[in-house]
Structure 1
Amino acid sequence: MASNSPATGLGPKAPRVVDERVTKKVALAALVGTTLEWYDFFLFTTAAALVFNAQYFVSADPFVAAMSSFATLAVGFVARPIGGFIFGALGDKVGRKKILMITIVGIGVVTGLIGLLPNYATIGVAAPIILVALRILQGLAVGGEWSGAVIIAVENAPVEKRAGYAALPQIGSPIGTILSSGGFFGMLYLVGQTNFDAWGWRIPFVAAIPLLAVSMWIRSRLSESPEFEALMESGETEHAPIRGVLTNSWRQILVGGCSALLGIGGFYLITSFVVFYGTKVLKMPSETLLLGSLLAAVFEIFVLIWAGRMGEKYGASKVILWGGIASAIVAVPVFLAIDTANPVLVILAMIIGVCTLSVPYAVSGTALTSLFATRVRYTGVAITSNGASMISGFVPLIATALVAATGNSFWPGAIILLVVSIMTALSGIFLPALSIEEEGMKH
C-alpha cells in the first residue's frame, strides 16, 4: 500500500481486532520502564537542588553553586533530543521493543554509576566533569525511552481506548517521583542531614540497579507493536525517518512540543525549583519540600487516570486546552502560597500545581502519536517530546537566575508557569487540524 508521504502516509493498517489482555500486558511493561526512567531522572533533579550544588560544585555563593548544579541538569535535557534522533530513527527501522531494551539498560546503569561517583573533595575537578558526562549518557538513553514506551502502548491498544492506555506510561512519572522523593525523604529521616549529605543520598541512586533487573525481566516479555509488524511484513518501513519528519511535519513538531511543555517544564518548576527556593530562600526544612513532592505525586496518579479517561471521551486536544487554562489560573496563587513558607500552604500549593499541569500531561502521549504516521512515529514523537524536554530542562536554571536578579522574589516562578500554561492551552486549539487520526476518542 502506497503512502502519501514519509511523514503523513498512514501505511498499512494494523488489525482492528485487538486482544486487550495483550494490550494490558504491553501497557504494564511500558509503565514499569517509564517508572524506572523517571525514578532515575527525578533522582538527579532532586539531587541537583539538594546535594550536587555542595558535593560537586564548590562556590561561596549558594546561587552560583545552584545554577551550576541546575546547568548540569539542563545538559541532560540537551542530550535528550540527540537521543531522540538516534533511538527514534532506529525504532522506526528495527522495531520499538529492541530499542526499549537498550534505553532502559542505559538509564539504569548510568544512574547506578552516579551513586558511586566520588565528590569534588575526593577527586577534585574530575568529579563535576564525570557527573556531566554521565548526565549526558543518561539524557541520550532517556531520549528514546518515553516516546517508545508511549508508542508501543498506543499501537497495541484499540483506537477508541488509546487515550486511556497512553495515560498509563505517564503514571511512571509520579511513581518515579514517589520512589525518588520517598528514597531521599526516607534516608534523611533514617540517617539525619549530616550523614545524608555525606553518603546517604547515594543509596537511592545505587538502588537503580536492582530496579533495572526487574524492569528488564518485565520488558523482555513485551509484545512488538502490531502496526510496526505490519509495516515490516509489507516492506514499507521508512529508510530516512528523520528527513521525512523534519521536512513534512515541522508544524506537528512545534504544536506537539507546546502541548508537552507544561507537563514537563511546569513539573520541574513546581518540584526541583521549588525545592531549591524553599530551602535556600525561604529557609524551610528540605524534608517539608520533599514531602510536598511526594504527596503531589500521589495525587497526580489519580489525576492522570481521570484525565486519560476524559481524553477517551472528549479527545486529547480538548483536555490539553482546558488543562492548560486551569494551570494558568492557579499559577500565581500557587506561588503566593509557596512564598508564605507555611508548611501546610506550601505542600497544598505543590499538590494543586502538579495536579493541574498533569491534566494535559496525561493525554500528551496520545496527542503526539496522533500527529505522526506509523512509519515515522517513533522519530516524530521522540523529536517533539525531547525538544520540549530540552526547553524544560532550562526552566529551573532560568527561574533561579531570575530569582537572584529580582532579590529573591517568587514572581519569576509564577510568570514562567503562567506563560508555559498558556502555550500548552493554545496548542490544544491547533492539534485537531494537524492530527492524522483520532486522539483516542470514543465514537
Structure 2
Amino acid sequence: MVEIMSNPVSAKKTSDEKLSKDGKKTVTTAFLGFTVDMIDVYLPIIALAPAMIYFQPANLSPTIATTLYFTIFVLSLIGRPIGSFIFGFLGDKIGRRKTTLIAILGLSVTTFMIALLPGYSVWGLGGIIAIAALRFLSGIFMGGEYTSANPLAMEMSPKSKRGLFGGLINAGFPLGTIIVSVSTLITLSLLPAGDATAPYSVWGWRIPFLLGALLSLILFIYSYFELPESEVWKTSKKTTNPLKALFSKEHFGQLGQVFLLMSGVWFVTNAIISSLPGMLKMLNVSSTTSTYSQLFANIVLFVLFILAGAVSQKVGRKSVLTIFGVLSFTIAPVIYFFLLKGGYQNPVQLMILVIVVHALVIPVFGVLTSYITERFDTSVRASGYGVGYSLALVIPALTPFIMLGLQNFMPYVYTPIVILIIGGLCITAGALLGPETKDVDF
C-alpha cells in the first residue's frame, strides 16, 4: 500500500459544506476550461475525421489512413505530459491563476491557427505536417490548463463536496464532445462531406475549430477578470523545485501509483473514444450516424461523470475506481465485440451499444480530479496532478501502433478490445495499490 501524503499546513479554511463565492469562480473556470480543453482534444476525431481526405494523398489504404488519423490525435496526447511538467512547475512556483491564464490563451491561438490551414492540393504534405505540429503545441497548452485550474478548484472546494465538484469539472469532457458533435452535425447537414473537393472537406470542418478557438478566448477573458488565486497555495510552504520534490523518495511512490492508474484510464479512452469512430468509418457507418451515436453517448456520460464523483464522496474514491476498472476488462469488452461484429449494422442498435460501452467505462473520469489532487500535498499538488495525469499518456499514445501489430494475430477491427482489457487491468491494479483519499485535508 502506498502511503498518502497530506499537507500539515492549513490555510484559510473553506466551509466544509458551502462553496464560497471565489470557490464558485474557480470551479466554473475549471469546468469551462476542461470543456474547451476537450473540445480541442476531440476536434480531430469528430470534426476533422470526415475531412481528412482534404489533407491526404489520393489512394491511401484504409489502414494507413486510419493510422494517420490516430497519429494526429496522439500527437496532442504526447504534448500534454510536456505541458504538465512546464505548467505544473509554474503552478507550484508562481501560482495556479497565472499558469491557467497562459494555458487557456495558448490553446485559443493554436486552435485558431489550425482552422486557417490549406489542404494537400495547396501545400502537399505540408498541410498534414502543420496540423501535426500545431496539435502537438495545443497538447502542451491542454496539459497546462487542467494542471493549474483543477488543483485550484479543488483547493477552494469544501472537503465534503470535492467528489461532486470534481465530477462536475470533469463533466466538461463529455460536454466538450457534445459541442463538437452538434457543431459538426449542423455543418455536415449544410455542407456535405465527400471527396477532397466537397464543401465540408474544403472549409466546413473549419467552423468547429473556429468555435473552439472563440470559446477559449472568451474563457480567457472571463478568467483574467474573475479567477482568484488559491488561498491554500498562497499560505502554504513552497518548495524550491516542485518537480525535483515530486520525483524524490517522499513522493515517488504516490506518483508511480497514479501513473499506473492513469495509464489504464488512457488505454480505455483510446480503445473507446479515440478508436471507435475510426472503426465505424472502416465498417462503412456514415459520418452522421457515427456522430449521432457519440453525441447521445456523451449526453449520458455528462450525467454519469457527476454521479460517479458524488458517489465516490459516499463510498470512497478507491471503490469507484476499482469498479470501473473491473467493468473495463470483463463486461465492456463483450459489449464492444458485439458492436463491432454486427451491432453496427442497425442504427438504433448501434447507438444503444455505443452508449452502453461508454457508460461502463468512461465515467471513471468523474473521480479523477478529486482523487489525484488528494494524493499530493500543496507544495507539489499542481505538479503531481499534472504529471500523474498526463505523463501516463506516453505509453497509451502508442495505441495506434500496438493495434497495427495486433492485426497480425486478429482482425484489425477487433484490436481496440485488447487495448480496453489492458486498460481495465491497469485501472484495477492502480486503484487497489492506492489508499482511500476522500477524507484528506488540504
The TM-score, its normalising length taken from structure 2, stands at: 0.90
Q: How does 1:294-373 map to 2 (within 5 A)?
A: 294-328=295-329, 329-340=331-342, 341-342=344-345, 343-373=347-377
Shift of 1:170: 0.3
The reply to whether residue 272 of structure 1 matches residue 298 of structure 2 is no
The structure 2 residue matched to 1:253, chosen from 252, 255, 277, is 255
Corresponding residue of 1:393? 397
8 Å CA contact 1:100–1:149 kept in 2: the answer is yes
* CA–CA distance in structure 2, aligned partners of residues 51 and 405 of structure 1: 29
Q: Which deviates more, 327-336 or 306-315? A: 327-336
Q: Which deviates more, 290-299 or 201-210? A: 201-210
- Alignment gaps of 5+ in structure 2: none
Shift of 1:167: 1.3
The reply to whether residue 430 of structure 1 matches residue 429 of structure 2 is no
8 Å CA contact 2:333–2:421 kept in 1: the answer is yes
Corresponding residue of 2:242? 241
8 Å CA contact 1:316–1:441 kept in 2: the answer is no
Corresponding residue of 1:155? 155
For 1:369-397, what per-residue CA distance to the aligned partner results, in whole angstroms no more than 9, with x for missing partners?
12111001111111111112333333345
Corresponding residue of 2:42? 42
8 Å CA contact 1:402–1:412 kept in 2: the answer is no
> Which amino acid is the alignment partner of residue 335 of structure 1?
F
> Which amino acid is the alignment partner of residue 20 of structure 1?
L
Q: What RMSD, in angstroms, separates the aligned Cα atoms of the two structures?
A: 2.2
* CA–CA distance in structure 2, aligned partners of residues 388 and 346 of structure 1: 31
Corresponding residue of 1:12? 9
**2:44 match: secondary structure:** helix
* CA–CA distance in structure 2, aligned partners of residues 290 and 405 of structure 1: 30
Distance 1:49 1:402, change over 3 A: farther
* CA–CA distance in structure 1, aligned partners of residues 264 and 107 of structure 2: 24
* CA–CA distance in structure 1, aligned partners of residues 399 and 204 of structure 2: 28
Shift of 1:330: 1.8
- Alignment gaps of 5+ in structure 1: 1-6
**1:319 match: secondary structure:** helix
Q: How does 1:7-156 map to 2 (within 5 A)?
A: 8=5, 10-18=7-15, 20-22=19-21, 23-47=23-47, 49-52=49-52, 54-56=54-56, 60-156=60-156
* CA–CA distance in structure 2, aligned partners of residues 318 and 45 of structure 1: 32
* CA–CA distance in structure 2, aligned partners of residues 404 and 54 of structure 1: 27
8 Å CA contact 1:323–1:357 kept in 2: the answer is yes
> Which amino acid is the alignment partner of residue 311 of structure 2?
M
Shift of 1:184: 1.5
* CA–CA distance in structure 2, aligned partners of residues 292 and 407 of structure 1: 26
The TM-score, its normalising length taken from structure 1, stands at: 0.90
* CA–CA distance in structure 1, aligned partners of residues 47 and 56 of structure 2: 11
8 Å CA contact 1:77–1:139 kept in 2: the answer is yes
Shift of 1:45: 2.9
The reply to whether residue 226 of structure 1 matches residue 231 of structure 2 is yes
* CA–CA distance in structure 2, aligned partners of residues 180 and 403 of structure 1: 31
* CA–CA distance in structure 2, aligned partners of residues 415 and 184 of structure 1: 30
For 1:297-337, what per-residue CA distance to the aligned partner results, in whole angstroms no more than 9, with x for missing partners?
10001101111111111111111001111232222222322
Q: Which deviates more, 289-298 or 205-214? A: 205-214
For 1:329-388, what per-residue CA distance to the aligned partner results, in whole angstroms no more than 9, with x for missing partners?
222222322331222222222211221223321111111112111001111111111112
> Which amino acid is the alignment partner of residue 315 of structure 2?
Y
For 1:170-199, what per-residue CA distance to the aligned partner results, in whole angstroms no more than 9, with x for missing partners?
011001100112221221112112321222
Shift of 1:287: 1.0
Shift of 1:440: 5.3
